[in-house]
Amino acid sequence: MPIRNLLFVTIFIAILFVSGAWTLFSEDHNRSDVENRNLAQMPNAKLQNLLNGKYAKDFEDYLKDQFFAREFWLQYLFELQAAVKFSDIGGVVKGKDNYLLETRMYNNTNVSNINKNIEKIHQLAGIIGADRLYVAVAPRQTQANQDKLPFYVMNNADEYMDIFLSKISADITKIDLRNYMKNRQNDLYFRTDHHWNINGAYLAYREILNIIRKTYPQISRPFEKTDYTIQLGTEKFYGSLARRSRDIYGVPPDRIELWYPKNHENTIIEVEGKKHEGYFDLKILNRSKYINKYFTFLGASGKETVYTVPQNDNMPNVLIIGDSYALPFTSLISQHFYRTHLIYLRNVSNLDVSRMIENNDISIMLMIAHSDYVIRERITTNFR
């Protein structure tokens, strides 16, 4: 082997050795703010894990998440991909009007997830009664903005959302929010994030509340926008799609608006049984660039968040379960009930729905989620 080639091989092996050693002996990171998730930790080397292959898989995940200077290398990789004109960066493309959009497509393997989620919904109907259960599904950001996609990117979420909705029992009230949210003039979604913004949540709140009022006419009508005190939370929200692509596209950050309902000072908010001061989590808005500031809307920091509106003591109580789309939505609709119990399903492994209904005099149950949650993911919470 020529000396030059030998030198290159030696340097390459040395880099791998030093990086691997640095990874193993340096302090592990618990969480990635950029990816908004917990990072894999050193797995347990129990004999059983060694024999069944779990240790090898977990250790591979650990190395991926804890690799030396991981964020530096990922940033460098994405910048290199952008320089050579990759069609997408981390599954994200830049579309019309400065929208960051996803390249995600579904296939028939997702139908098994849909079927499992339908089983969960029918289980809930069996507990509370189908006539008291409402299921609302919102189009995810890219699905609602397909007209902004580059010509070479397709989105087939509508097809699989149709499959999901078609499988829900006819005696359950299902609410297809596409009917209200597509092709609207106002911006209903963030440009750098997969969530709806407060305008989208407001539109969904009005439509869902009007549907619930057909059965419960004593509930007050939806508020007008003029009924809110609207304040700017931040103009520097780098959403999930900006974080996933490491802000390579340079799209300006989003605004987060905070809508305070009239008499909101009277509302008592409890997170995990502890009183929360303030209608939103304002502290998170002043944190670092890639912190998920969407969580200024309460509900994701614990399993249960309860809104109590004392002046509504003659109104029903409602149980809302769902994903992160439920957070700003609940800040709006909670003002029409006495108590609103919000369960953020990602944080809950087991939920005794029967006991919740009995102990809290729940009259109405609403599940609200975006389309990807019910198509690609599985509801892992065990209901009883």
Query: SS3 for 43?
Result: coil
* In a shared domain, residues 327 and 295: yes
Q: What pLDDT sits at residue 183?
A: 59
Tally of domains within the chain:
2
* In a shared domain, residues 82 and 167: no
Q: What pLDDT sits at residue 5?
A: 54
Write the DSSP symbol of residue 108.
Answer: T
Q: What pLDDT sits at residue 99?
A: 97
Q: What pLDDT sits at residue 296?
A: 98
Average pLDDT of every residue of the chain: 88
Amino acid identity, residue 140? R
Whole-number CA gyration radius for the chain: 23
* In a shared domain, residues 130 and 249: yes
Q: Indicate the angle between helix axes 3-25 and 54-66, nearest 10 degrees.
A: 100
* In a shared domain, residues 338 and 374: yes
Query: Which residues, 6 or more positions from 251, have their beta carbon under 8 angstroms from its beta carbon?
Result: 94, 98, 99, 100, 191, 192, 242
Per-residue pLDDT tens over the stretch 107-124: 999 999 999 999 999 999
Nearest to 230 by CA among 264, 269, 190, 205: 264
Query: Which residues, 6 or more positions from 179, have their beta carbon under 8 angstroms from its beta carbon?
Result: none
Q: What pLDDT sits at residue 58?
A: 61
Query: SS3 for 207?
Result: helix
Containing structural domain, residue 15: 3-98
Query: Which residues, 6 or more positions from 257, have their beta carbon under 8 angstroms from its beta carbon?
Result: 197, 198, 230, 231, 232, 233
Q: Tokens standing for 281?
A: 């989590």
HEC assignment per residue over 336-362: HCCEEEEEEHHHCCEECHHHHHHHHCE
* In a shared domain, residues 91 and 238: no
Q: From 53, 71, 98, give the residue that closes a domain.
A: 98
Nearest to 133 by CA among 79, 208, 75, 206: 208
Entry pTM: 0.86
Q: From 78, 98, 118, give the residue that closes a domain.
A: 98
* In a shared domain, residues 304 and 210: yes
* In a shared domain, residues 119 and 85: no
* In a shared domain, residues 57 and 150: no
Q: Which long-range contacts (CB under 8 A, 24 or more apart) does 300-304 make?
A: 300/324, 300/327, 300/344, 300/346, 300/347, 301/271, 301/272, 302/271, 302/272, 302/344, 302/347, 303/272, 303/343, 303/344, 303/347, 303/348, 304/271, 304/272, 304/273, 304/341, 304/342, 304/343
| Burial class for 123, CB neighbours closer than 10 Å (0-12, 13-18, 19+) | middle
* In a shared domain, residues 116 and 262: yes
Q: Are 277 and 232 in contact (CB under 8 A)?
A: no
* In a shared domain, residues 241 and 259: yes
Q: How far apart (Å, rounded) are the C-alpha atoms in residues 102 and 190?
A: 13
Q: How far apart (Å, rounded) are the C-alpha atoms in residues 90 and 242?
A: 10
Q: Tokens standing for 236?
A: 């520097």
Q: What pLDDT sits at residue 67?
A: 57
Instruction: Tell me the HSE value of 130 on the side-chain side, using a 13 A CA sphere.
Output: 8
Per-residue pLDDT tens over the stretch 167-208: 999 999 999 999 888 756 578 999 999 999 999 999 999 999
* In a shared domain, residues 171 and 84: no
Q: How far apart (Å, rounded) are the C-alpha atoms in residues 4 and 11?
A: 11
Compute φ and ψ for 33, nearest 5 degrees.
Answer: -65, -35
Q: What pLDDT sits at residue 88?
A: 87
Instruction: Report residues of the chain scoring pLDDT below 70.
Output: 1-43, 45-55, 57-85, 183-185
Per-residue pLDDT tens over the stretch 35-81: 565 666 666 766 666 666 665 766 566 555 555 556 666 664 666 66
Q: From 98, 116, 136, give the residue that closes a domain.
A: 98
* In a shared domain, residues 114 and 137: yes
